[in-house]
A and B are shown apart, each in its own frame.
Chain A
Amino acid sequence: MDNVATAEHTDFEENTIAHTSDMGHSTATVSRDVRKTVGDIEAENPRMICRGVNVHYGDKHAIKDVSVDLGKNEVLAMIGPSGCGKSTFLRCLNRMNDTIDDCHVTGSISIDEQDIYDKSMDVVPLRAQVGMVFQKPNPFPKSIYDNIAYGPRIHGLVEDKEELDHLVEGSLRKAGLWAEVSDRLAQPGTGLSGGQQQRLCIARTIAVSPEVILMDEPCSALDPIATAKVEELIDELRENYTIAIVTHSMQQAARVSQRTAYFHLGDLIEVGSTEQIFNMPRHQLTEDYITGRFG
């Protein structure tokens, strides 16, 4: 995985440089309209479908008419400068914005043909189905075991202690943390290192067997080695889950994702395969962002 990522990385840098140099001649093919998303918003095998999503924080129009699909067994990376609305959009996908008082969401976001903003929708099973990993590792002030067991317990997923033990072990194994913590499950989760804490949070999310995992800059508080481990984990998780990840690191987006979406001031500017976005951006703003002209 590491080798592949490095290869991709170098590839992308060479190509962008090459592309920039001949950019002067090819401006005619580059879009400059921010109101219309460039690229294919549809995924081949969609798991979640978002159409015409608008988010207002009081008077502020934070997300403007965004439509995009999250494909099955696919990592969708959302990139863009700070304040472009990518985290806000991510938080719409499991209704985490509900906890913010003056946040108002319109448009349709559906999973299994069920609109998640429908009145009949219960957020409790939704959040079990669409799990979330946050920017800062946030283990509960409980033991490692209880951190993992928390979700299964509140959703009544297990019948007895044995089954729960099994589930905790399985989740920790999937998050690649079992070997490191198997002998100290009773110790507080807050005592782990930053990278371990973040993998603990991922294990905690996996434990309720979600179908979609949302990650909000999961590596921004971690050192490079811990970041590499989490990225490796994301790649492995793709086999079983649909993943959407917000990141500030374009290298990370290039390494872990299959599709990339570029946000700019609340507009979804461009969506496409990661390879195409980084090698052949079709929108001027995307081009400017990935070549480091701003952002």
Chain B
Amino acid sequence: MQATFLLIVLLALSAVGYYLGHHRSLAVSGGRISHLHSLPTYYGFYTVLWCGIPALVLFALWMALQGTLITHLVISGLPADIQALPSTELHLFLNNIQNMVSGNIVSGDITETMNNAAAHYKSLHSISGLLLTVLMLVLAIGGILWARKNIVPERRARNIVEKTVTVMLVLCSTVAIFTTLGIILSVLFESIRFFQQVPITDFIFGVNWSPQTAMREDQVGSSGAFGAIPLFVGTMLISMIAMTVAVPIGLMAAIYLSEYASSTVRAIAKPLLEILAGIPTVVYGFFAALTVAPFIRDLGDSVGLQVASESALAAGLVMGIMIIPFVSSLSDDVINAVPQSLRDGAYGLGATRSETIRQVIIPAALPGIVGGVLLAVSRAIGETMIVVMAAGLASNLTMNPLEAVTTVTVQIVTLLTGDQEFDSAKTLAAFALGLMLFTVTLVLNIIALSFVRKYREQYE
């Protein structure tokens, strides 16, 4: 609350700063813009930067350090016997104090020490808030004054403002990169913990998946097996079925829409096709589990085939339907990007429409199409909701699409949902699976890129 208020005040001060800077630049130039190095707007923003950035940096640092600092001060103010407690109990004690301050339920009895500590905590907190407000206001107003004093006609305000904007843009793109890096590292470290308990060779080459860890020595079913092969085979099987559905249908739909359909048909059909992409995957999931899977089972029964209720075929088919719009809209874009002059060239030689498409347009668009398909494969491999609902949990090592299989994503979900202890091999296995999945998709993307580049060289 206080933070929001402070930021609003800072914003208002910045607006004032902009006005002052703008005004000042006109004043020092005698109202003649041509005497200034930059336009008055830039002097306005120059003042805003001086007003906002130091105050914001202070605010960020304060927010990051305040908690630790106050906790430290509270602990040092506690009686020695409590300070001597083991760290877990001390932590519990501090937690209680914080609960007391914010008016939550406190576990155990409230003692005098706790009351004192709470009061101490409260007062420290309000001092900190007051100090922050004062410092920020001083910095912001000081910044404005400093900038105002610095505004002379020779000041290169435009260069300074644009440089700062560039730095901000760089920082924003770095956030995305560092987030990715952070995710990789967290998954990697958890995986390393897993591989300390289960040998990496057992994980990669094992053909049995039964993720259990014993809680007692004599527990029934205490033997765990962490062989990931059945999961990857299941994932590949379902992805393959999905791609067999999505690639031909998507590609042909794209060819129809971009080459044959009249503009009115295209205007109606393309958005309709793209609605498929807007259906939430959880809806596809129960469509697969409740409609398609029983239908396939009954169909199999009627011709004397044994089909599992949760077959790979059902999940794959529905996943394929989900991916159709990705393939079709990406292919449609690259087919439309093939220059009209190539079509004219082929038609001018007497090629029919289908000859033109097969021999000229598709080869020219192939790199883009392959890229789109590989993107769709990554999506199929990482898809979770449909397979959670329709593919089942049985880790059968099979290539028979009529049997139930399980996938990497399904197992990650089942390993991590519900109350879990986060130091057993069972839950850590999820991170190892995630790492494997990430590696596979990365390799796939690298292959896609190199493939696209190879063809691009050939065609340009």
Contacts and interface: CB of A to CB of B under 8 A. Distances in A.
**Interface size class of chain A, counting residues whose CB lies under 8 Å from the partner chain:** 20 to 34
Contacts of A127: 347-350
B352 A190 contact: no
Contact of A94 (B342, B345, B348, B364): B348
Contacts of B351: 124, 150, 154
A134 B341 contact: yes
Given A190-B459, A190-B460, A134 B348 contact: yes
Interface string A136-153: 101111100000001100
A96 B364 contact: no
A139 B345 CA distance: 8
Contacts of B339: 138
A203 B310 CA distance: 60
Contacts of B342: 138, 140-141
Interface stretch (B215-223, B234-242, B355-363, B434-442): B355-363
Contacts of A124: 350-352
B460 A138 contact: no
B458 interface: yes
A266 interface: no
A208 B346 CA distance: 12
A141 B364 contact: yes
B359 A150 contact: yes
Given A125-B350, A128-B350, A132-B348, A138 B458 contact: no
A154 B344 contact: no
B343 interface: yes
A65 B344 CA distance: 26
Nearest to B360: A140
B347 A99 contact: yes
Nearest to B365: A141
A134 B349 contact: no
A131 B350 CA distance: 8
Interface string B345-386: 111111110010001100110000000000000000000000
Contacts of A132: 344, 348
Contacts of B364: 140-141
Interface residues of B, number: 23
A254 to B, nearest CB: 27
Contacts of A138: 339, 341-342, 344-345
Interface in B382-414: none
Contacts of A162: none
B348 A140 contact: no
Interface string B8-28: 000000000000000000000
Name the residue among B345, B350, B359 with the largest chain A CB count within 10 angstroms.
B350
Interface string A50-73: 000000000000000000000000
A130 B360 CA distance: 20
A99 B347 CA distance: 9
Given A101-B263, A140-B360, A150 B459 contact: no
A205 B349 contact: yes
Given A138-B341, A138-B344, A188 B459 contact: yes
Contacts of A30: none
Interface string B311-351: 00000000000000000000000000001011111111111
A121 to B, nearest CB: 13
B262 interface: yes
A291 B341 CA distance: 33
Contacts of A125: 350
Contacts of A101: 262-263
B344 A134 contact: yes
B350 A205 contact: no
A133 B339 CA distance: 16
Interface of A: 94, 96, 99, 101, 123-128, 131-134, 136, 138-142, 150-151, 154-155, 188, 190, 201, 204-205, 208
19 contacts: A99-B343, A99-B347, A101-B263, A124-B352, A127-B348, A127-B349, A127-B350, A128-B349, A134-B341, A138-B339, A139-B345, A141-B460, A150-B346, A150-B349, A150-B359, A151-B349, A154-B350, A190-B460, A205-B348
Given A99-B347, A138-B341, A154-B351, 16 more contacts: A96-B344, A96-B347, A99-B344, A124-B351, A127-B347, A131-B349, A138-B344, A140-B345, A141-B364, A142-B363, A150-B349, A154-B352, A154-B359, A201-B345, A204-B349, A208-B349
Interface of B: 262-263, 339, 341-352, 355, 359-360, 363-364, 458-460
